Amino acid sequence: MSNKIKVSVIIPCYNVEKYVGQCLDSVRGQTMPDLEIICVNDGSTDSTLDVLNKYAKQDSRIRIISQDNAGLSAARNAGLKYASGEYIAFLDSDDFVASDYYGSMYLRAQDMDADLVIGNDIWYWDDCQMQIGVTHYRNFADKKSVITKHQDKIRILSACAVWNKLYKRTLITDNNLEFYEGKHLEDMPFTFSAVALSRKIVFQPFSFLFYRQRNSSIMNNKVNRVRNAMDMLDNFSRLYGELSTAQNIVNRDFYKAALLEMIMRESLIHYGMLARTRPAQMQFWNALRGFIASLPGDECFINPFYRQVAKTMQNSTLNKLLGIKYNSYKIEFKLLGILPLMKIRWFEPARIKWLLFGVLPIRSSEDTGYMKWLNY
């Protein structure tokens, strides 16, 4: 192995005795050996640390950092302090990677002088079922293998996971990027900032990470849904405030607008995931309304679909009476959650002709300027 470390792989570990061996085997077996493997034992109470120590004795590239349990974000931040590679990768301890994963990503980064490389993923179940990852920008990646324009960057912000990406270390260190600690869904603000700051982003569709699906994970555990929703909103609210004063992001007003669209979209998705738990829905809905109320006005939302939803949310009387159902192309309001009152469709915001409780259409029917924002 050369003295130069090409990739630092940061692996947070918490009570994963069943999976971490397979994870480490996949990283140790990479065709590119110039790696450092930083395992952060986040206060595990099972035999995870014993497994890590066994592997560290077998491979000098493995470094173990132990800390009291502080959560995934704190573990990743701890790993970043010790990382010395030219590029940084984050890998969850229950996932694993193909043998050429980091090598192919690194070569792509070098060839294109990229700040950020996005790989591919395969969703994996323990019964060996697999499917190609549900990455929303995949069709877009097929058309554009290199991203440099601000307008193109927003197309890849719909999938903010950190584990399918390779980050240039200087991108992180020069901009003091870190994960918000004590929060779930910490990937989102970190990756949003990294994308906004990157000069060049490239795709490597032939590199594969196996993303394990298990019911007890942070994302899949139904018990976490309320916290996930609230943390998502808190994370993005904090990031929105930071963007207002960020001097290192070019065209920050553009990214503030893009972030607002992302907040609204993700909020409606999480609201839907809280179905059948009306108190939790209303807790989250009121938190979202509070954030929107803190903005100068609903005109902050460039996309008229979200502008219309924001305007509706600002009507307190209306919100007490409504049940809201959302999917990818429309939002439907129902009186007491039963009687349909109105719909706002994604592609037809200018055709809404209703007047209800002072809620008015945002744009005239001949105004199609919003189509430019949607890139259609």
The 10s digit of each residue's pLDDT in 197-243 is: 999 999 988 888 988 876 554 444 456 788 889 999 999 999 999 99
Of 20-24, 324-328, 345-349, which one has max mean pLDDT? 20-24
d(CA 135, CA 211): 12
The pairing of strands 322-327 and 146-147 is unpaired
Question: Which has more confidence, 290 or 316?
Answer: 290
User: Residue 181 pLDDT more than 90?
Assistant: yes
7-212 CATH fold? Spore Coat Polysaccharide Biosynthesis Protein SpsA; Chain A (3.90.550)
Tokens, residue 29: 């077996």
Give the DSSP per-residue string, 75-118. HHHHHHHH--SSEEEE--TT-EE-TTHHHHHHHHHHHHT-SEEE
Question: Which has more confidence, 258 or 91?
Answer: 91
For 34-90, how does the pLDDT look when each residue is reduced to its tens digit (9 = 90+)? 999 999 999 999 999 999 999 999 999 999 999 999 999 999 999 999 999 999 999
d(CA 130, CA 160): 21
d(CA 223, CA 206): 35
Of 137-151, 201-215, 289-303, 321-335, which one has max mean pLDDT? 201-215
Pick the range with the lowest mean pLDDT from 14-18, 124-128, 186-190, 259-263. Answer: 124-128
CB burial of residue 92 (10 Å; 0-12, 13-18, 19+): buried
Distances (CA, A) of 143 to 131, 205, 207: 22, 12, 18
| Mean pLDDT computed over every residue of the chain | 80
Per-residue model confidence (pLDDT) at position 74: 96
Distances (CA, A) of 38 to 56, 91, 183, 329: 10, 10, 22, 42
User: Residue 104 pLDDT more than 90?
Assistant: yes
Contacts of 340 (CB under 8 A, 6+ apart): 332, 333, 334
Contacts of 98 (CB under 8 A, 6+ apart): 26, 207, 208, 209, 210
Arithmetic mean of pLDDT, 292-300? 77
d(CA 162, CA 376): 28
pLDDT band at 278 (very low <50, low <70, confident <90, very high): confident
pLDDT band at 346 (very low <50, low <70, confident <90, very high): very low
CB burial of residue 317 (10 Å; 0-12, 13-18, 19+): exposed
Domain ranges of the chain: 7-212, 222-373
Tokens, residue 247: 């001097």
d(CA 5, CA 83): 10
Arithmetic mean of pLDDT, 245-252? 86
Question: Which has more confidence, 320 or 28?
Answer: 28
Per-residue model confidence (pLDDT) at position 171: 97
Question: Which has more confidence, 64 or 320?
Answer: 64
User: Residue 371 pLDDT more than 60?
Assistant: no
Residue 43 contacts residue 69 (beta carbons within 8 Å):
yes
Per-residue model confidence (pLDDT) at position 28: 97
Per-residue model confidence (pLDDT) at position 6: 98
Contacts of 333 (CB under 8 A, 6+ apart): 312, 318, 322, 323, 324, 340, 341, 342, 343
